[in-house]
């Protein structure tokens, strides 16, 4: 994984992980530390990326309301507000649409 700060490929993986279980890295060139989510749209999100992606995917695929999704995950023990779902959708929906469009057209464009 290249350094998100300087782009160097001289990176070492740290033995410890973040609270959510993501790998930590340290750049030998600039001495910055970062994790797997650094430099992404979900960098400072409180919840794991797979949970956020699942919420947004269900919202778009099954046309569930914001409050339905919060209730469905509350039953599973994951608590977040419907406003969080709205923010995640605003961040991830354009990225998912671009990725699906790219896959539909094939690698050649």
pLDDT digit string, tens, across residues 26-72: 999 999 999 999 988 988 889 999 999 999 999 999 999 999 999 99
Q: Which residue has the tokens 């539909």?
A: 104
Average pLDDT over residues 67-82: 96
What percent of the chain lies above the pLDDT cut of 90?
67
The token pair at 52 is 């956020």
pLDDT at position 108: 52
Q: In this predicted structure, what is the pLDDT of residue 15?
A: 94
Q: Give the pLDDT score at 3.
A: 92
What percentage of the chain exceeds 70 in pLDDT? 97
Q: What angle do CA 66, 56, 35 make, to 5 degrees?
A: 125
Q: What is the pTM of this model?
A: 0.78
Q: What is the mean pLDDT of the chain?
A: 91
């Amino acid at each position: 994984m290249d350094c998100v700060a300087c782009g160097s490929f001289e990176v070492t993986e740290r033995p410890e992980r973040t609270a959510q279980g993501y790998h930590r890295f340290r750049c030998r060139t600039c001495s910055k530390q970062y994790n797997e989510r650094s430099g992404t749209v979900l960098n400072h999100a409180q919840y794991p990326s797979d949970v956020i992606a699942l919420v947004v995917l269900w919202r778009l695929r099954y046309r569930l309301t914001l409050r339905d999704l919060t209730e469905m995950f509350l039953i599973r023990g994951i608590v977040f507000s419907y406003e969080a779902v709205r923010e995640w959708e605003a961040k991830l929906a354009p990225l998912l649409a671009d990725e699906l469009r790219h896959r539909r057209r094939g690698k050649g464009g």
